[in-house]
Amino acid sequence: MLEAVGDIRVFMDADNSTKIDEIAKFLPFFEKGFDVVVGSRRIKGAHVPKEQGGLREFLGWAFRTVVHIIVPVGVTDTQCGFKAMTGSSAQQIFPKQTIFRWAFDVEILALARRAKLKIAEVPITWVNDSASHVKLSGMINMLLEVLTVRWNLLTRKY
């Protein structure tokens, strides 16, 4: 994101669960002055034609609950891998990033909130990639990284 150029910078999951044309839904929010726009599979208007399996849904719910308790960022679906922000917001947020794995989204949103950036959550179409899996070790690492974000916020590392 720091190497990207342009007024709006997008990042998305490599599995292409959300098509790039979904960015058209984000543009009106930037025109209204939002700094960060987050795609969501969890809010009204989202379209998820192929749900994840029951265990994955449960683990996702558990992770969302933990995030909302430990690092409330004001976003329902922190892990949706389709996000965009203004270039100036990216330049403000990403130099402070310390987490580059599982919970980097949570950290980026926490940094945006700490900077008092205006964040919108927008419903998107998201298609589950059945080949995508998260192991228990990944979930544990995610939890540890969320705790790290909380610690960094408390100790004013950011």
**Average pLDDT of span 87-104:** 96
Dihedral angle sign, alpha carbons of residues 127, 131, 136, 137: negative
Quick check: 55 pLDDT over 80?
no
**Average pLDDT of span 3-19:** 93
Containing 89, the helix (H) or strand (E) segment is helix 87-93
Cα distance between residue 106 and residue 145, in whole Å: 9
Cα distance between residue 46 and residue 121, in whole Å: 11
Cα distance between residue 67 and residue 104, in whole Å: 12
**In contact, 41 and 128? CB cutoff 8 Å:** no
Please, which pLDDT band fits residue 1 given cuts at 50, 70 and 90?
very high
pTM of the model: 0.91
Quick check: 141 pLDDT over 70?
yes
> How much of the chain, in percent, has pLDDT values that exceed 70?
95
Residue 146 CB neighbours (<10 A): 23
Mean pLDDT of the chain: 92
Q: Which segment of 39-53, 69-83, 97-111 scores lowest on mean pLDDT?
A: 39-53
Quick check: 19 pLDDT over 80?
yes
